[in-house]
Structure 1
Amino acid sequence: MPSFSTIAAFSFPLLQLASAHGYVAGIKVNQGTWIDGANPNWYYQPAGTAPQTPGWQALNQDNGFVAPDSFSTADIACHKSAKPGQKYISANSGDTLTLYWNTWPDSHKGPVINYLAKCSGECTAATPGSLSFSKISQSAWLSGSDPGTWVTDTLIAQNFTSDVKIPAGLAPGNYVLRHEIIALHSAGSANGAQAYPQCLNIKVGGSGTKSLPAGEAATAFYKSTDPGILFNLYTAFTSYTIPGPAVWSG
């Protein structure tokens, strides 16, 4: 696996001013071999010159975010003007994917949410608007308040990593994993929440028989006034409502 200093060396030439925000730089399946994610700087490389990886490319050279006023657009699916990854992560149902963010700021506390969408054919030819997602896991507030301890603090403490398990018994096929952090440091104001969706193609093998439920388009996930989107991190609170649909238990 590349060191994070190495990742920084080739990832940040155009991102120096926004290096506080991150993206999924790599993935491991069951702590196996490193697989490259998607570097935002690859988006504008000439056709055929950018590395082919499972990660979806996004028009995100500023390492920015999707704001609530864009939650009704396809950008909320896999980030801004996203294009599908051209390879797959090979895994089986029940496997654990460890996603390595290149960095994440400790001020950007909030939920980590994972969704899956079954592709109709090849995910490499999918579009953000064609995907119908089911939520498979979520975690958010852990303890305390103003601002408290959040799962993003755990991500930072674990070398900027987050684990997601492919549902046990999931039927083989081509899927898109939508992995997302919603940063809440400015969410006390209207249009202040910051969504950082990351998409990756997965080819699930094995002999599972469970099908994902119908799911829904990402544009239906959140409203700007949802209690988990419009939320004051810097006050006393005793609960947090994670936004979006219910988790599919499988």
Structure 2
Amino acid sequence: MPSFSTIAAFSLSLVQLVSAHGYVAGIKVNQGSWIQGANPNWYYQPAGTAPKTPGWQALNQDNGFVSPNAFTTADIACHKSATPGQTYIAATGGDILTFFWNTWPDTHKGPVINYLAKCSGECTSASPGSLSFTKISESAWLSGSNPGTWVTDTLIAQNFTSDFKLPSGLAPGNYVLRHEIIALHSAGSANGAQSYPQCLNIKVGGSGSTALPSGTPATKLYTPTDPGILFSLYTSFSSYVIPGPKVWSG
């Protein structure tokens, strides 16, 4: 029978492993004031006690992920059992948004992808299944192989930050921004890829007139056998196909 100290050490290692995964703790627009995201620990707070922020809350207290066998469920939209953020980030087409992850492990290499969905009314009352997403930007493999250098390495080197530009001329309105990392360290096996979608509400102002395309429902973004989902990171490779629809040029 294992000793108490052995069990305690094993439990601690599990806590450390879980806590290594991250979430978007905040965001800045054009390097302006800090806007708080959604802390997973708020999910179970009594109604009305959690801070009101643009970030969508999720059943993500383990800083976990959405696996490929859940790609056909609403969880892939904004994470597990997500509920909408209750405020908005104010921005204008062409603004640079910087996402601040609380942490990210260097073993979790993979693409960083950004989507937008237009809300029918207020995003604060939207449901994950009602959103259709248009891919706005993507980045992934940079060089090398087994495992190579990835955009997630850049995110770590930039103090766990990632930049995203809102399309210039984007028409005013209420949008949900879906910011996602897909970790590939276990993606060589079926159901091994790990999706970490993070959603935030954005209220776009200005005088832009370019309408966002209708987009793709989150449940149709990926399949478990897409070449960018079922991918052997720890082999020799010379390319990587980023999953999901094509980037909208605007």
* Residue identity matched to 1:102: N
- Write the distance in 1 (CA, Å) between the matches of 2:107 and 2:167: 31
Q: How does 1:77-96 map to 2 (within 5 A)?
A: 77-96=77-96
Describe the superposition over 1:192-217 as per-residue Cα deviations: whole angstroms up to 9, x where unpaired: 00000000000000000000111011
Show the counterpart of 1:103.
103
- Write the distance in 1 (CA, Å) between the matches of 2:35 and 2:71: 29
Describe the superposition over 1:109-153 as per-residue Cα deviations: whole angstroms up to 9, x where unpaired: 000000000000000000000001100000000000000000000
Describe the superposition over 1:132-188 as per-residue Cα deviations: whole angstroms up to 9, x where unpaired: 110000000000000000000000000000001100000000000000000000000
Runs of 4+ off more than 2 Å? none
Secondary structure in 1 matching 2:201:
strand
- Write the distance in 1 (CA, Å) between the matches of 2:164 and 2:218: 19
Q: CA offset at residue 16 of structure 1?
A: 5.7
Show the counterpart of 2:223.
223
The 3 A distance-change label for structure 1 pair 232 and 17 is closer
Show the counterpart of 1:159.
159
Show the counterpart of 1:194.
194
Secondary structure in 2 matching 1:230:
coil
Q: Which runs of 5+ in 1 are unaligned?
A: 1-14
- Write the distance in 2 (CA, Å) between the matches of 1:75 and 1:144: 33
Q: How does 1:33-182 map to 2 (within 5 A)?
A: 33-182=33-182
- Write the distance in 2 (CA, Å) between the matches of 1:72 and 1:31: 36
Q: CA offset at residue 19 of structure 1?
A: 1.1
* Residue identity matched to 1:67: S
Secondary structure in 2 matching 1:237:
coil
Show the counterpart of 1:240.
240
* Residue identity matched to 2:147: P
Describe the superposition over 1:35-67 as per-residue Cα deviations: whole angstroms up to 9, x where unpaired: 000000000000000000000000000110000
Show the counterpart of 2:10.
none
Show the counterpart of 2:29.
29
- Write the distance in 1 (CA, Å) between the matches of 2:87 and 2:243: 30
Q: CA offset at residue 17 of structure 1?
A: 5.6
Larger Rg: 2
* Residue identity matched to 2:211: S
Q: CA offset at residue 247 of structure 1?
A: 0.3
Count of residues in correspondence between the two structures? 236
TM (norm. structure 1) is 0.94
* Residue identity matched to 1:200: L
- Write the distance in 1 (CA, Å) between the matches of 2:213 and 2:39: 31
Q: Which runs of 5+ in 2 are unaligned?
A: 1-14
TM (norm. structure 2) is 0.94
Show the counterpart of 1:4.
none
- Write the distance in 2 (CA, Å) between the matches of 1:17 and 1:227: 27
Show the counterpart of 2:212.
212
Secondary structure in 1 matching 2:187:
coil
